[in-house]
Structure formats: structure tokens, C-alpha cells
Structure 1
């Protein structure tokens, strides 16, 4: 039997009476926007296609998608949401919309499960509980740099190497990373840290080289009291994880590489044209980051999330701004271009799972192929996606988690 009253945050939505209240007081909402809100909350377990919303709210009347966009904006404003925050209604590129805020129904004091929650996942825009459960600690690297690390969840450990860019606290509130944390911490104790120069770690550092990153990982392993554990490396964090696994085979039981690469763009350039392209890409990045040029930053974000929306790109950009300084961002990009673990990868002796988006626009799939050829006991799985960072609302995300769970359960 369908419920009539749904509570989320300060709001109560009575779908039978078509009424919205905030803290007990009525909120006036244009009828079309209210109808859209009601349909979304009643079908919050799935992404509702745009066509279905048009049919449900406007019936046989023909209207353009602009009318739907306007009603969606109105509905968001009514519940304190925005197109950039999307903490209540999430737009899923090319698919539709989904109501993603935690909901309780009449007579129930617990959040009503959505399809994602029933599987132990939380949609990217949910207000997370993990931020409250995690424990943040600090340790010092050999050169005195303070490194922040966090632990959340329970069960066997999974250590995630730091990558571009991180913030132990803010990651729980951004749709870019929150689903990663909830998914990876399911049935496990997830340990992760902020690399030097960003997040809660020291932002003013004398240097930030690849060797420093590997040493920082070594420092966190010791501080967290880890003995033998599986290690996850995402993007350039994959190269750091490869170097650590090669140096400490007695520590790493299994290695997982996601969107990773063995050689940075400058190193893997095979001719003058590719070298010039790599140099130009880095020069543009220096200028764009140094001046915080919004045009560049949006293009940069779209390389990580080509299937995202402009709102996704703005969220990604805003997260980066809050994570590190422009000078640090430039230094990171310069060091990424020089990464090279191609002479090290063959010394990784543990079983290794390599996951990569088939049409990754930031790191080409050829880099995944190279890692699979270099690491002896490795397997490569290509996922159907263009995104460098998988989103919560694409099929590849569920597959990603399933492959990791199966690999770690072997």
C-alpha cells in the first residue's frame, strides 16, 4: 500500500492532498512543480525518465523540455535545493531525475530504503552518515609534513591511496565521491588519506614529488597499524599504489587499480607531435589553474566526467577549489605528467585487478592495457563508460563494486 506522507529534512509532503509543509507551515508550490515532486518521491527507488515525468505531470498536453526544466527548478527551490547542489533531486544525464534525499514515511522513524540503500549503497547526493562515523587522525612523514588519514566502517581493511584531489571531510558531501566512500566501506574498514598539499593534510609543503607520495603512503600504513591488506589506487594514485606494492610485497595482499596509468603524458609521448601536445596541455593547465579561469576549469572537469552535466562539472570545480590552492594544483599536474612506474610494475607480485572505463577521456584505455601487460598476476576488466570517475547513476558503477567485492572475496 502506497504511503501518502513523506518526510525529508524539515519538509513533509502529503501526496494525497498535494501539500508541502516546512517545519509545519505550508509551502506554496506551483501545481506542475508539486506534481513533479510527488511523482519523484513516490518513485524514488529509481531514475524517472523525462518522458514519464512529462506524461505524468502534463498528460496529453504537448510541452517542451523547457517546461520540465522550469518545473524542476521550481520544485528544487521549494525544498531548498538547487541545480548545483542536487541534494534532494538529482538530474541524471540522458536518463532523467531521481529523488535522492533520505525519506521517512508516515508511521516510520527510519529512512525509507531506496534501491541503492537496499544494496548497501547511498546515492551520490544523499546527506551521508559516514562523515559522522569516520575517525580522522594525523601522522607525520619523515620530513615533518602532517598527513591526515581517516577510517570508516568495520570488517577487513581496504586502504585507498590518495589521488587528485581529496578532502577527508568534504568528500562525504559531494556527489563526485560520496558514493565511492559508501560503496567501498560496505562490509569493510576503509582507510584513506589526504596527500600532502591538499585536504586536511599540510597545504604548505617544501616539496611534493612522486617519491614523497609513496613515502606518505608508507607513513599512513604504519600509523594505521596495518599489517597485510588490499590496496586500491585510483588515477595517479594507482601509480603510487604500484610503487608501494613493488617495494612492500609482504604488506599488500591484493592490488586494485582504477583508471590508473604507468606513465604520465609527457613520459608516454612517442613522437614530437605527442610531446608538443603534452607540453601544450600542461601549459594551458598552468594558466587555467593559476588564474582559476572558469572556462578552463569547466573543460578540465568535463575530462573527468564527460557524461556529466554542467552542474556536475561545476560541482567538481567547486570541490577542487575547496581542496587545494592554485599553486599546489599546478605542482600536482606537473608531477603527474612525469610519473613513470613502467620499470617497477613487473615487480608487483600480488594478484592485481585493473578496472578501467573503455572510453576514458582523461586516461586512455591503452594505459590500462600497459599495466595489465606489465604486472604478472593481473586481470583487466573494461567497463562501459566514458567517465574517468564513475558516477553513482551509471551501470558501470554497480559492476565496478561487484568486481571489487568478488576479487577481495577470493
Structure 2
């Protein structure tokens, strides 16, 4: 549930903020270049990530002056005024001290606050952040392209793939990002804010930061170069750098989103969280390239690597299209879950079609049952059954359990019985079918 939006007074400017969470430790979330705290909650992955943050901290987050729900049309602020805004929010939230987490461009402000207000900063967390603006926009031409986008396409969401190249082409995600742009700042305000941001260089103050510091960064971050994070970690005394895989800039996107939360929780609370197991009903899908070893030998390493990357991109695109969740890549296949068996089968059909255009054949297994979700993995007997069912197929086959067939009755999907089969590692036989 979205927290209530309130206003703190910073001099004569009203700063929109929200407070939520049940943890004993305070955490202030300093946003990136634009934000709109109510729009956060409309993106399912963002909302889930924030809710998880609130399980071990009391969170205060806000829109910086001139953006989001805070007062607009105010003069473009300098760092001093922005630091005043953090203090005003902490005071309004009843936080004498807090861990301060800066995201992206907000990392620079959080760092300056930690340096100038050490008595109020228990610890500093920097995610996808930088010391110099050049880590974000390395050339003047790159910044001019953003200005052109602001003038001609702001609010369309079409810039999202620049932030999230792995997931940013999903239509509903782009639609949300378009709204986020519109509600975060007007085109003119965005341009003026970015002109001020282009002067950011906080390298001289970094050695003065005394707060314990955790720097989190994706090594292949598509927006902020990893050297931005590495510079922060090198220049802040005692800072610890943790790098993650993935290219999407947002902390709440990608398989590493849970790992990021684990690092934050350990830093704030002093202990790694115990694995959380959630039992849910899911349609489990296993895909596997048939004869992958022989094909790799025929193609050669370079050509096979290229073909495999194309395969992976196409499979991921279909999983997203049918609202599935990629659990992990298995080298020459994928494990994914869906919230309905019908979508799982339609996705399997689509995967078979698009992958065949690469000259590859896949066999796919689908089963529905309870699974345990922990961190970035799923486990349980349902997962084992789906894997064993997949092994029964030939190239192009989608093999499903009777449970799946029964659940999609009336959907128009047709099946051919393959009889009862003994599945490796399982004591009972299973009646399986080929989806037609």
C-alpha cells in the first residue's frame, strides 16, 4: 500500500515526502535526477523492492525541490539548498540520524550531506552513483541529445532502453516510464536541472566523509559507468564496493535486485538476512536447445556464441511478453515461472517459433505446482518435475503434465497423450502430453 504523501517545509519551499517501514533503523532515500514518489508505487518491481526495503528499515523518501510533487518553478537549487531539503525531511519524519542512500545523481547529494552533516549520517549507501558528471554524460554531445529528447519526446518513455537495455523495450514498462517523466519534471525544468547537474564534481569532498560507506554498482551499468562507482569507493575512506552483474541501471530491475537488498540489509542491520522462502503456485517452464553440443562443434566457438546470444535475447523477449519471470539461464536453456499455465504454454509456443528462425530446435517442459521462492531461485518438487518432463521431448516439442492439461481445459489448446512415463528421480509415473 502506498504511504501517505506529506510536506516538509525547507525555508519557504514545500518538499513532498513519504515515510513507511517497520525497521528499527532509519533510512533516507535520495532520488536521482527526477522523481515522483507516488508514481514509484505504480511500477510493480519498484513497489516490491521498496516494500522489501521497509521490512528492515524505516524509510523516508522525497522529491527534490523543483521535481515531482515538491514545489515546482523554484530557482534551480545548489547543493546547500538540497542538503537543507534532506534535513527538513528528516526533521519532519522524526529522524535525528539515519542511513542516507543516494541513487544515481542523488548519490552526489547524499555524499555531500554525509560530509557536511556527519552527526546526522549513520552510514552512507551509494547506488549507481558517481563523483563526476562525466561518468553519466561523458561528452557534451551526449547531453545535447538528452536536451533534444526533452524538447521533442519528453513523456513518451522511449528513452527507457538507455536506462534499462535488458528490459526497457517492454511496452507497459515504457508507458510507466513516460508517466514518470511527465510527473517528475517538465521539459524546461529538466533541461535547467541537468545544466546544473552537469557541473557536479565532488571528488574534493570525498576524503572528508567519515561515515561508514557502502558503494553498490552494476559492472556493466548502461547509464553510469562503473568507474564512477569505483572512484567513489577509492576516495571515500574505508568504503566498501560491491559490484553486480546486469546492465539495467535501476536497482529494482534484473536478477540482481534481491542481492542488492541483501547487501543493504547487512550494512544497515549488521547481519545478512536469512533466506526467505515463499511458497506459491506457479507454472514452471524449462527450455533446452536440442543437440546443443553437436551444433556448437559444427558452428565453432565464435559463431555458436553469437547464435546463443541471439537465442537468449529472443527467449527473454518472449518471457517478458507473456508476463513470465526469468529465474535463471541454464547455459543452453532457461528456467522461468508464470502465474498461469495457459500463458506458460503460449510462451513456450512462441519461443519455439522464434528460435526456429535461428536454425535451432528447443524442447520445453511445463508443469504447475507449488514452488519455494528464495532470492533469485525457485525450488521444490514442481521444478524437478518440469525439468524431467522437458527431457522427454524432441526438437520442437512442448511436453506438459496432466495437471497443466487439466487446468487449461476450455482454452482451445490441443494435446496429444504420450502416456504414463517414469520420471528420473521420482517414484511415481506421470501422465504427460504433447502440446499441439
Structure 2 counterpart of 1:367? 228
Deviation at 1:175, TM superposition (A): 3.7
Q: Is the 8 A contact 1:292 1:326 kept in 2?
A: no
What is the distance in 1 between the residues matched to 2:118 and 2:150? 37
- Aligned pairs for 1:217-228 within 5 A: 217-228=86-97
Matched, 1:152 2:20: yes
Q: 1:17: which partner in 2? A: none
Following TM superposition, by how much is the alpha carbon of 1:176 offset from its aligned partner in structure 2, in angstroms?
6.0
Residue 365 of structure 1 deviates from its aligned partner by: 0.3
Q: SS of the residue aligned with 1:322?
A: helix
Q: 1:120 aligns to what? A: none
Q: Is the Cα contact below 8 Å between 2:155 and 2:180 reproduced in 1?
A: no
User: Take 2:195 and 2:165, find their aligned partners in 1: how far apart are those partners?
Assistant: 23
* Residues 343, 152 of structure 1: alpha-carbon distance in 2 compared, 3 angstrom cutoff: same
> Aligned pair in 2 of structure 1 residues 397, 263: CA closer, same or farther (>3 Å)?
same
CA deviation after TM superposition for structure 1 residue 263, in Å:
0.8
| CA deviations over 1:104-129 (Å, ceiling 9, x no partner) | xxxxxxxxxxxxxxxxxxxxxxxxx2
TM-fit CA distance, 1:293: 5.7
Partner of 1:97: none
Match of 1:330 in 2: 191
Instruction: Please give the residue correspondences for 1:223-238 in structure 2 after superposition, counting only pairs within 5 Å.
Output: 223-238=92-107
* 2:268 is the alignment partner of 1:408: yes
Select which of 22, 31, 38 maps to 1:169. Answer: 38
Q: Is the 8 A contact 1:163 1:195 kept in 2?
A: no
- 2:176 is aligned with 1:307: no
Q: Distance in 2 between matches of 1:336 and 1:357?
A: 22
- The aligned counterpart of 1:260 is 129
Residues 241 and 319 of structure 1: is their aligned pair in 2 closer, same or farther, counting only changes over 3 Å?
A: same
Aligned to 1:136: 5
Between Structure 1 and Structure 2, the one with more strand by share is 2
8 Å contact kept, 2:60–2:89: no
Question: 1:341 — aligned with what?
Answer: 202
Asked if 1:209 corresponds to 2:75, the answer is no
| SS of residue matched to 2:101 | strand
Q: TM-score under structure 1 normalisation? A: 0.61
Gapped regions of structure 1 (runs ≥ 5): 1-128
Q: Tell me which structure has the larger Cα radius of gyration.
A: 2
Residue number in structure 2 paired with 1:350: 211
- Rate the CA distance shift 1:179–1:330 in 2: closer, same or farther, 3 A: farther
- CA RMSD after TM alignment: 2.0
Aligned partners of 1:182, 1:363: CA distance in 2, in Å? 25
1:68-217 equivalences in 2 (<5 Å) = 129=1, 131=2, 134-142=3-11, 144-156=12-24, 157-175=26-44, 177-217=46-86
Residue 397 of structure 1, aligned match among 257, 280, 283? 257
Deviation at 1:294, TM superposition (A): 7.5
